């Protein structure tokens, strides 16, 4: 069996995150909408009690020297051979859904995030851990 976490294609790891988020929300009877393309700054929309919320999904397998998972918030990419780094914008989505390689999932309100490039998941963030 192939391991998406060690695949040379980062999109495989991203697909794991998307799948876990969809499974989490649908198992909690929360309708999920997946955008038609990937040009927006969120990965899916949930409809919780008639309130639409934009969800950005991140995965991580990186740990800090102190053993905490680190989530890359900034995005690098571009087109026409021009690379651009875009810092995290906590107004572009409502929820940051994080999946670690060990399967721990976090549902963090983006308004709580002040970091722009990287988030270290210390125990301060444990209150946002969710389970099926």
What domains lie within the chain, and their CATH numbers? 4-130 (3.40.1350.10)
| DSSP secondary structure, 17-72, as one string | HHHHHHHHHHHTT--EE--SSS-SS-SEEEEETTEEEEEEEEEE--B-TTS-BEEE
Q: Answer whether residue 76 shows pLDDT above 90.
A: no
Instruction: Check residue 79 and give its pLDDT.
Output: 64
Q: Answer whether residue 78 shows pLDDT above 70.
A: no
The rounded distance, in Å, linking the Cα atoms of 70 and 100 is 9
Question: 0.75 cut: is pTM over it?
Answer: yes
Contacts with 76 (C-beta within 8 Å, 6 or more apart), sequence order:
83, 84, 85, 86
pLDDT digits (tens, 9 = 90+) for 80-130: 667 788 899 999 999 999 999 999 999 999 999 999 999 999 999 999 999
Instruction: Check residue 81 and give its pLDDT.
Output: 67
pLDDT digits (tens, 9 = 90+) for 21-71: 999 999 999 999 999 988 889 999 999 999 999 999 999 999 999 999 999
Q: Answer whether residue 15 shows pLDDT above 80.
A: yes
């Amino acid at each position: 069996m192939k391991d998406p976490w060690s695949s040379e294609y980062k999109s495989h790891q991203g697909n794991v995150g998307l799948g876990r988020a969809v499974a989490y929300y649908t198992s909690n009877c929360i309708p999920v909408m997946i955008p038609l393309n990937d040009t927006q700054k969120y990965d899916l929309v949930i409809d919780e009690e008639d309130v639409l919320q934009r969800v950005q999904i991140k995965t991580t397998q990186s740990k800090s020297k102190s053993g905490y998972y680190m989530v890359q918030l900034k995005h690098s990419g571009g087109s026409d051979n021009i690379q651009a780094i875009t810092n995290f914008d906590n107004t572009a989505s409502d929820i940051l859904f994080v999946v670690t390689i060990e399967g721990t999932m976090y549902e963090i309100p983006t308004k709580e995030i002040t970091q722009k490039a990287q988030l270290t998941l210390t125990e301060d963030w444990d209150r946002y851990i969710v389970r099926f």
